[in-house]
Amino acid sequence: MDYDVDVAVIGGGLAGISAAITAAKNGLSVIVLERGEHSGSKNVSGGRMYIHSLKKLLGDHYRDAPLELPIKKETFEIYTGNHKASFSFENKDSENSYSILRSKFDAWFASEAENLGVPISYSTLVSGIDRENEGLVVRSDRGDIKTPLVIEGDGAAAFASRYLGLRQEKSFKMQPVENLQNNQDFMPKQFMLGVKEIIDKKPEGDYGEAKTILGLSDGIKGGGFSYTNKETTSIGLTLKLDSLEGHDEKSFEIIEDFREKLGIEGKLLEYSAHMIPFYKFETLPRRYADNILVTGDAAGFLINDGFTIRGMDNAIESGRLAGEAAKKIKDSGNFNDTFVYEQMLEDSFILKDMQAASRISTLFGNERTFDAYPKIMAGILERMFTVTGNPRENIKNVMMDEIKKNNIGYYTLLQDMLKVI
């Protein structure tokens, strides 16, 4: 087969653009197919980027990126009933992460690929991928592209993987709910709904604060966040898909209620909602097959270790590794030999960090994390900060009493504690 390009990248988000930049720098011919009107138009994220992967990809040129504020203050807030517990950590010397606005950043990031000669075909809907001889034919509403290698960066839906049979269903958009419940490659427990707003509220100070918020999701499993930008504030929720059953509220109603409870006032500038992956290390989908490499959200590379929620650095790094792997695969002349990408992932921080976070991620799938444990914490703190004139309670007795009051067995508590440590 005569090929149109060495690599077809499906998806113009962080993973896809990172792969395109890397492949182009390695001398490969690349095209990016993006269904949005521009890069960033279909992307939703909390708005915080850990920048180590961007530095690795671009070197000092990363400083030209339209980043917002360096995050130098971390705050955790836990709500239950009328109680609120919070604590903060601040490091004014930190340059670990930045708040970002994806619409601005992604447009700039795409231009970096275009400056290297990479064509990006916007408003292009990929409708299928067929195998032909030793290569692939990518079908789209703008025509067919013949290529020996596809790098997939099309998000949590992972349509390219489905077209090539890496997932059970080629499409789940019109599947009955009962079919999805039994589909091991699309189970609600493996996804979250991300809902985000950008508010016209300028922060105080010249550096950013990231808040992790638990207990204001109206009984739905999940958590909230807020990040300060240069001129605005980003707020949002990540909600477990399986816990939304039985809730009649629409996503914009849930986040508006969340904003009201936080007391954040200001003009709504942007609203977005998106499905995001929520896999444990042991349940990650396939990341490679003949002629295809899977990156970013399509590969399930979201990490939540209780302190950080990371997807963007994983997307950029997995895209970079896919671009490097594409060069090695082309040089070998065997486009079925894609295991080299898996080996590179195993050597990277991505799979190592996902494995390390695997145990604690199970805590975000049970009711205790969002109900019993916040109540226990609030009960302990309330009793210890209250002075009544009665004899002072022993902290050990208070803790045991609150645990018992919330119907948590000591063995269950011990198991959950071991997952954290």
Q: What digits encode the pLDDT tens for the residues 167-182? A: 764 444 434 434 444 4
Q: What percent of the chain has pLDDT over 70?
A: 90
Per-residue confidence (pLDDT) for residue 178, from 0 to 100: 44
Per-residue confidence (pLDDT) for residue 43, from 0 to 100: 64
Q: Which residues of 314-348 are buried (b: 16+ CB within 10 A; e: fewer)?
A: bbbbbbbbbbbbbbebbeeeebeebebbbebbeeb
CA-to-CA distance for 93 and 88, rounded, in angstroms? Answer: 16
Per-residue confidence (pLDDT) for residue 95, from 0 to 100: 86
| Candidate ranges 93-102, 144-153, 158-167, 268-277; pick with highest mean pLDDT | 144-153
Per-residue confidence (pLDDT) for residue 232, from 0 to 100: 94
Q: What digits encode the pLDDT tens for the residues 347-368? A: 999 999 998 887 776 666 666 7
Residue that has been written with the tokens 């022993």 in this structure: 394
Question: Residue 93 — pLDDT band, cuts 50, 70, 90?
Answer: confident
Helix H or strand E segment including 179: helix 177-181
What average pLDDT does the segment 43-67 reach? 90
Per-residue confidence (pLDDT) for residue 41, from 0 to 100: 62
Per-residue confidence (pLDDT) for residue 179, from 0 to 100: 43
Q: Find residue 195's DSSP bridge partners.
A: 237, 273
Question: Residue 147: exposed, middle, or buried by beta-carbon count in 10 A (0-12, 13-18, 19+)?
Answer: buried
| Kind of pairing between the strands at 208-214 and 222-228 | antiparallel
Question: Residue 194 — pLDDT band, cuts 50, 70, 90?
Answer: confident
Per-residue confidence (pLDDT) for residue 420, from 0 to 100: 63
What average pLDDT does the segment 36-46 reach? 71
Q: Which residue has the higher pLDDT, 242 or 254?
A: 254
pTM confidence score: 0.87
Residue 14 confidence (pLDDT) above 70: yes
Residue 114 confidence (pLDDT) above 60: yes
Overall residue count recorded for the chain in this entry: 421
Q: What is the identity of the amino acid at 107? A: A
CA contacts within 13 A on the Cβ side of 254: 26
Per-residue confidence (pLDDT) for residue 421, from 0 to 100: 63
What average pLDDT does the segment 361-376 reach? 73
Q: What digits encode the pLDDT tens for the residues 131-148? A: 999 999 999 999 999 999
Per-residue confidence (pLDDT) for residue 363, from 0 to 100: 64
Per-residue confidence (pLDDT) for residue 140, from 0 to 100: 95
| Cβ atoms of 20 and 113 closer than 8 Å | yes
CA-to-CA distance for 380 and 393, rounded, in angstroms? Answer: 11
Question: Residue 193 — pLDDT band, cuts 50, 70, 90?
Answer: confident
Per-residue confidence (pLDDT) for residue 153, from 0 to 100: 96
What average pLDDT does the segment 148-161 reach? 93
Q: What digits encode the pLDDT tens for the residues 198-236? A: 999 998 888 999 999 988 877 787 889 999 999 999 999
